[in-house]
Amino acid sequence: MSSTFLYGGNVCANGIRQHYLRYGSRANEHAARPAIVLIPGITSPAITWGFVGEVLGTRFDTYVLDVRGRGLSSASDTLDYSLDAQADDIVELVKALGLASFSLVGHSMGARIAARAASRIESGLQSIVLIDPPASGPGRRPYPSQLPWYVDSMALARTGMDAEAVRQFCPTWTFEQRQLRAEWLHTCDERAVLASFKGFHEDDFFADAARLRVPSLLITAERGDVVTSEDVGELQRATPSMLHTRVPNAGHMIPWDNEAGFYAALSDFLGASVTLDASRR
């Protein structure tokens, strides 16, 4: 099956360079459906979500973002890496891309960015998917991953690492997944990651989620404790219309562990269903 990758691009939005990868149809076959803006997690450049972009691109015009301080987007020692700045990036990105109708799909940190951005977007937002968002925050339990896991792996990446070296950090991943992380992890700015990790404990995700006014879907992992059943209950009480699906046989990096289960969890929430085509893999 042919690739749905169209091109990589950059826009100047919110005063910085924002890099993205675009997937979809060259014939613009998906124009009737809302586009998808996919926002990755704390140390996941856009390219590491390319395998998901390929599949989403079979049904949707899909943009996978390099969040500031990751991949090929702007990074510097003077850049603001706060959640507010990241949310404003999304607000300005969709304007710069000229998207009149779109959905936000965010994983982990990206889900928290999407939830914060949603209340700031004036028009065009149709729905939002929150994939295993960190439920940590003021007065709540800490985020279960430890900071040295990020710092040590990034330090090794900056010196040069291979798939085997990644195994100590991601032991269940395939060779291809580990090799891609080895290639791109060095593009994650440590200052950005430190600021985002700090924000996991200081920013109130539950308050942002309670303000959602568009259809929302919460996707959580069966394994791990990033989002507990108690967290799900609290989120759905605050936003009764929020749908929820737990993906079996998956940890926090859900599509890496159970890609087919991830697409099944999306179902037709975004306007069309997608499935994992075995011939593509």
Which DSSP string do the residues of 85-115 spell out, in sequence order?
HHHHHHHHHHHHTT-SSEEEEEETHHHHHHH
Separation CA 211–CA 233 (nearest Å): 16
What percentage of the chain exceeds 90 in pLDDT?
95
Confidence of residue 213 (pLDDT cuts 50, 70, 90): very high
Confidence of residue 66 (pLDDT cuts 50, 70, 90): very high
Task: Give yes or no for residue 113 having a pLDDT over 60.
Answer: yes
Confidence of residue 1 (pLDDT cuts 50, 70, 90): low
Q: What is the mean pLDDT of residues 221-225?
A: 93
Dmax over CA atoms of the chain, in Å, equals: 50
pLDDT of residue 188: 98
Label residue 137 left, alpha or beta by phi (over 0 means left) and psi (-120 to 50 means alpha). Answer: left
Task: Give yes or no for residue 123 having a pLDDT over 70.
Answer: yes
Domain residue extents for the chain: 5-138+203-280
**In contact, 81 and 88? CB cutoff 8 Å:** no
Q: What is the mean pLDDT of residues 18-33?
A: 94
Task: Give yes or no for residue 65 having a pLDDT over 70.
Answer: yes
What mean pLDDT value characterizes the chain? 96
Q: What is the pLDDT of residues 127-185, one digit of tens each?
A: 999 999 999 999 999 999 999 999 999 999 999 999 999 999 999 999 999 999 999 99
pLDDT of residue 279: 39
Task: Tell me the pairing of strands 102-107 and 16-23.
Answer: unpaired
CATH code of the region 5-138+203-280 = 3.40.50.1820
What percentage of the chain exceeds 70 in pLDDT?
98
pLDDT of residue 278: 40
